[in-house]
A and B are shown apart, each in its own frame.
Chain A
């Protein structure tokens, strides 16, 4: 199959990688080679074969519903690139308008809005250099 610039950029967006123009070119060529390489098995007839999706034979591996101590908050936040000692801090999640309604429900409101925005995949901020 043909690998286009659009495909490479689309995959980069899905992967959250802000690749440069030269990276795009290089990746396009790599993609083409890898696709050819991994297509080797397309010739195999696997119509009657069940896919092997697990590497374990076991099933029903469970844990009892017994609480164990959590990490102290300081430890949980210790590795955070940005925190105020209580929360992880990130740049404002897109969906600003959503936050303008009833502040008390701002948590869930903005959350539902923001999540939806980011899930959409139609964020134009990514893409080429």
Chain B
């Protein structure tokens, strides 16, 4: 089946009409939707209209863009003018954004066409997509009784079950990488500031990044080339030149130094996960990559630090959902304060309320120093760990998650159990470094296992190279799940 790069080559080469490309994408999404529940909305009419328009422009000889005719899906916490932007929450169930997020605008300017919004844990809070308040959980295409991971579960499931589309996701503590690993796809969280956050419904402003879930690293590189770069509307986006990521992939991996930290193979990690990841490290070695031992001593404090900082920022970022200017407003209220309190308690799901409460608490009078400020100091220590390690190595390799996809309902009643699956992904967000997850094998139950690579800030090219090199020597990323769209 056509991948992203093949599709754009075919459309640009006039061998494939954009309309055909879009039709095929929509067919694929619809085929698997009954089983997977991955898309929260599909835009057939709008997408076909845009495709027809693109075909006309191509016929006229106009430059169609580097992603011409490539369909893309957008996680539902990223603003699109088309359709709704609900963030998986009742409080935004009917919200229509008055603008396109910068990433959406850039993809469209590059000739790509939006075909769907994808399902997610409410406001990005969750690691299983079970916290999706409007359409309910998404299923894992490898085993539909299991979760696809979260919060970008819809994007991950679709990326596994279809071909030839770009799937935008967001990652605050692992929300791209962890579902990528559970669904056997390649998910990239770029360096903080590499991609604009303008139009991403903020969860934790200092941790959030938009990225993508794809069939392989090459597709991630193709998408990143168009998405990356300074955005005047996002003060946190970096004014760092954007490399030609696709070209960078060809530099190979020989001579790169990769670190392995014992702290990233914690107690409780599933043995099959540890085994496959170590095999993956061996594979890298066989490709000429130098493997060294490194230490990131503050790793075990990363998850508590993450829970605290993300909760604090979220409590403030979600304050705007109050039933006044947009979104859900309660029917029954006596007065303004009641309006706020009832709209929010009715509109938010339980996990969101939990995180808001914890976040409000750690910022409240008397607790700021002991909690929020202290967490920021620990974040500094974690960043120092990475800086030190990256003096010795160019990348760090580890498992993406200590576990693989788990059954729906297994962890949802114990929030802390769910937080625990993020322990190996949250450090990247805290340290602002890029992280990519790629498939490195399967469990005996044929559930995917993810290998994760961390890089230096703004050295996304390095981790893409390593992932691409690994995928050149392995076939795990080529396996297709039981639930998948058939070829056209």
Contacts and interface: CB of A to CB of B under 8 A. Distances in A.
Interface of A: 7-8, 11-12, 14-20, 23, 27, 30-31, 33-34, 37-42, 44, 46, 49-58, 61, 63, 71, 75-76, 78-82, 88, 90-94, 118, 123, 125-126
Interface stretch (B20-28, B111-119, B298-306): B298-306
Nearest to A77: B325
A79 B93 CA distance: 11
B98 A52 contact: no
Interface in B409-427: 415-416, 419
Given A38-B371, A51-B373, A92 B336 contact: yes
Given A14-B364, A44-B301, A91-B336, A37 B307 contact: yes
Interface size class of B (residues with CB under 8 A): 35 or more
Contacts of A123: 337
Question: Is chain A's interface secondary structure helix, strand, loop, or mixed overall?
Answer: loop
Interface in B53-80: none
- In this complex, which of A42, A49, A51, A52 has the most chain B Cβ atoms within 10 angstroms of its Cβ? A52
Contacts of A34: 307, 354, 358, 415-416
Nearest to A55: B206
- In this complex, which of A15, A49, A94 has the most chain B Cβ atoms within 10 angstroms of its Cβ? A15
Contact of A15 (B193, B333, B334, B357): B357
Contact of B304 (A19, A37, A61, A94): A37
A3 B360 CA distance: 14
Given A12-B357, A19-B353, A61-B235, 13 more contacts: A11-B364, A15-B315, A15-B344, A18-B338, A31-B361, A38-B307, A39-B304, A41-B301, A41-B304, A79-B327, A94-B336, A118-B337, A125-B335
Given A16-B322, A34-B416, A11 B337 contact: no
B428 to A, nearest CB: 12
A37 B354 CA distance: 14
A125 B335 CA distance: 9
Contacts of B361: 7, 11, 31
Interface string B368-404: 0011011111111101000000000000000000000
B358 A17 contact: no
A94 B337 contact: yes
B329 A30 contact: no
A73 to B, nearest CB: 12
Given A41-B375, A41-B378, A50-B380, A31 B337 contact: no
Contacts of B436: none
A91 B335 contact: yes
A31 B323 CA distance: 26
Contacts of A58: 238-239
Contacts of B380: 49-52
A62 B358 CA distance: 33
Nearest to B192: A55
Given A33-B416, A46-B377, A88 B238 contact: no
B326 interface: yes
A23 to B, nearest CB: 7
A49 B326 CA distance: 42
Contact of B374 (A30, A46, A78): A46
B345 interface: yes
A31 B357 contact: yes
B143 to A, nearest CB: 30
Contact of B334 (A11, A19, A125): A125
B228 interface: no
Contacts of B370: 42
- In this complex, which of B192, B315, B380 has the most chain A Cβ atoms within 10 angstroms of its Cβ? B380
